[in-house]
Amino acid sequence: MMLKLRYFLVILIAIFLNIAFIYLHPVQVFATTNALSQASDTLSTSRPSASSPINDVGNGTLSSATSTVIYNNGSRFLASDSAKLVVNKSPWGFSQTGLSIASQSADLKTVYFSGQAGSLLPNGYGTLINAVTASHVISFKTVSTIPLQGKVVITFPSLSANDTQNAASPSATTFQFNGLASSGVTINSGSGMIWGLCTIAAPVITCPLVNGSTVPGNSTITVTIGTASATLINPTKSAVAGTADKWKIALQTQDSSNNTLDGPTNVVVGTVEAVTVDASIDSTMTFTISSATSSACGDPLTAGLTTPSSTNVDLGIITSSITNQAQLLTVTTNAANGYAITATSSGHLINAANGSYFPDANQGNSANGNSLSSNTAPAPQPIYAGQSAFGIHPCTAFPVGSGNASVNTIFSDSSTNQGQGGGLHNYYANPWNNNGNGFAMLLSSFSTQPTGIGAQQTWVEYGATAASSLPAGIYSTYYTYVATPTF
C-alpha cells in the first residue's frame, strides 16, 4: 500500500512540474513588418470627375440642343471641358463624345454647351460625363532590403459592388485604370537596380526586380503611374462641396515568395472640386456723331457747304447735280459680340410750309413714297442726277475687309465693296416709319469686340438731287441713329 502511494505521489509531482513548466515558459508568436517612411502620392490634378444622369424628359431633348438638365449630385462641369453623353437603354445605346461645355448653372442642374449637342436623347435616358484624368507619382523610402526577385505592390481602393461603371468611365469608389498598360508605369530606385515591367491587375500594380538586382534598405523608390496618353480616371465627388474625398492607397514591398517586408503602409490622397473665381467687368459703350470733311464712300463731298456738326447737316441749295455731305459715326464698346447701328428718319425731306417733299431714294423717283414696310424694304436704290430723291448711304474705311465694320449689303450693288463704290454703285434710302411700326434700317455692324479704328467707324453720306419741278422752299427731316452693343 505504501509503494502504490509513493508511485501516486511521484505521478502527481510530475504532473505539477509539467504544468508549472508550461506556465513558466509560455510560447508567443509575433509577425512584424516595418512601415514605409516618407510615403506620398502626388496627383497631376486633384479635381474629381463629373458624372450625372440626364434629368430632361421626353424624346429628343438634346436634339440640336444647347443645354441639358441633369441631377445635382455635386458634379461640376467647367467651361472648356470636353464631356460625353452615354445612353445605355435598349434599343438605343450610343456614346457621343466631344461635347464642349460652356458653363453650368449655379444650382448645378443645367449644363450649357458651346454649340449644339446634336444627339437625339431617348426619353431622357443618359448620363453626362467628364472623366478627369490624372497621373500619380508615388514615392516612399524602404526600411528592409528588397531581395532578388522582390517586388513593390501598390493597391488602389477596390471597386464596390454597387459601382459598376465601365473601366473607361469615372467611379464613385476608386481610381479607374482606364486601359492602363505596363508601358504606362515606370519605377525608379537609383542606378544599378533593374526593374521589370509592372503587371496591371486592377486595383493592384506589381513591379518586380529582375536581373539579379536588389534594393538596399533606406532607399527611395518612385513609381510614376500614367503617361500623356494613358492616365487614371479620378473618382467622382462624394463629400460635401469644399471637402476633399480621401482615398487610401496601400504600399508594400515583398520578397520573391510574396512575403511582406515593409508595409502595407497607406498613403492618403484627396480629390476636391476646383475653386471658382468670379470677377466682373462693367459694360462700356460710347457712341459719337461727328462732322466729316471727307468720306470713304467713293463720292467727293460737295464743295462750298457748311461743315456738318454733330447735330446738323446743311445740304445747301439743291440743284440737278447730286449734293453729298457726310458725318462719322463711332462706336467704342467692350461688348464681346460687337454692335449694330440702325437709322430711321422722321419722314420725307419735306417743306412744312407747302407739303412738298423729296421722294425717298428707296422709292425711286416716285412722289408718292410710303414708309418702310420692313427693316429692309423698300430697298435702297441709286440716286440719278436731276431726278428728285433724298437718302443716306453708309460706308466704311479702306481697305475692304481689313477688320472694318461691315456695311449692310442692301446699300450697294456689290456685297463686298463695303459701300465704297461711289456713283451709281452706292444705293440710298430714307427709312422712316408710319403708324409706329418700329422698322429701322441696319447701316453697319461688327460681330466681335471692336478694338481697331476701322472696326469702330461708319461714315453716313447724305445725298440729294432735285428736278426743276420741285417747289422752292426750306426742306428738313430728322434722323435718329441707334447703336446697340451685344454683350
In a domain, 100, yes or no: yes
Would you state the cell numbers that stand for residue 295, as one nine-digit string?
A: 468720306
Task: Work out the pLDDT band at 58, boundaries 50, 70, 90.
Answer: low
Print the domain residue range for 241: 37-44+133-271
Residues 323 and 403 in one domain: yes
Inside any domain, residue 353: yes
- For residue range 234-271, what is the model confidence (pLDDT) as tens digits? 999 999 999 999 999 999 999 999 999 999 999 999 99
pTM: 0.62
Domain check: are 64 and 144 in the same one?
no
SS (H, E, C) 287-313: EEEEECCCCCCCCCCCCCCCCCCCCCC
Q: Do 110 and 219 belong to one domain?
A: no
Half-sphere exposure of 274 (CA within 13 A, CB side): 14
The CA distance from 393 to 327, in Å, is 11
- Confidence tier at 123 by pLDDT (50, 70, 90): low
**Together in a domain, 99 and 228:** no
Residue 22 lies in a domain: no
Say yes or no: 147 and 239 in one domain.
Answer: yes
Residues 208 and 309 in one domain: no
C-alpha torsion sign, points 415, 419, 422, 426:
positive
Residue-level pLDDT at 370: 86
Q: Residue 90's pLDDT is what?
A: 58
Among residues 271, 305, 332, the one where a domain terminates is 271
Is position 179 within any domain? yes
For the cut 50, the answer to whether the pLDDT of residue 19 exceeds it is no
| Residue 30 pLDDT grade (very low, low, confident, very high; cuts 50, 70, 90) | very low
471 shares its domain with 409: yes
Number of domains in the chain: 3
Three-state SS for 216? coil
List residues bridging with 286 in a β-sheet.
Answer: 332
In a domain, 12, yes or no: no
Of 130, 160, 178, the domain-final residue: 130
User: Phi and psi dihedrals of 456, rounded to 5?
Assistant: -100, -15
Is the alpha carbon torsion for 375, 377, 380, 385 positive or negative?
negative
Residues 248 and 393 in one domain: no
Model confidence at 24: pLDDT above 70: no
Given a cut of 60, is residue 483 above it in pLDDT? Answer: yes
The β-bridge partners of 86 are 95, 127
* Burial of 416 per CB tally in 10 Å (0-12, 13-18, 19+): exposed
Residue 112 φ/ψ, nearest 5 degrees:
-105, 140
Confidence of residue 275 (pLDDT cuts 50, 70, 90): confident
Count the Cβ atoms, other than its own, within 10 Å of residue 265: 17
- pLDDT: which is higher, 436 or 154: 154
Same domain, 183 and 194: yes
Q: Check which CATH number belongs to the domain holding 197 and give it.
A: 2.60.40
The tens digit of pLDDT for each residue in 351-407 reads 999 999 999 999 987 877 889 999 999 999 999 999 999 999 999 987 776 789 999
Distance CA 151, CA 153 (A): 6
| Angle subtended at Cα 65 by Cα 59 and Cα 68, rounded to the nearest 5 degrees | 80
Helices within 183-327 (DSSP H only): none
Does position 95 have pLDDT exceeding 90, yes or no? no
pLDDT (mean) for 205-223: 96
Strand, helix or coil for residue 448: coil
Contact 419, 295 (CB under 8 A): no
Residues 297 and 405 in one domain: yes
Instruction: List, in order, residues 6 or more apart from 159 with CB less than 8 Å away.
Output: 171, 173, 174, 202, 203
pLDDT over 70 at 11, yes or no: no
- pLDDT band with cut points at 50, 70 and 90 for residue 64: low
Same domain, 360 and 472: yes
Picking from 240, 271, 302, the residue at the C-terminal end of a domain is 271
Mean pLDDT along residues 171-191: 94
Amino acid at 312: N
449: in domain: yes
- pLDDT tens-digit profile of 277-328? 888 999 999 999 999 988 889 999 999 999 999 999 999 999 999 999 999 9
Other C-beta atoms closer than 10 Å to the C-beta of 426 total: 26
Label residue 119 by pLDDT band (50, 70, 90).
Answer: low
Q: Is 110 exposed, middle or buried (0-12, 13-18, 19+ CB in 10 A)?
A: middle
Shared domain check, 106 and 117: yes
Q: CA-to-CA distance for 45 and 307, rounded, in angstroms? A: 65
The answer to whether residue 5 is domain-embedded is: no
Q: Provide the pLDDT for residue 366.
A: 80
- CATH number assigned to the domain comprising residue 81: 2.40.30
Residue 149 domain flag: yes
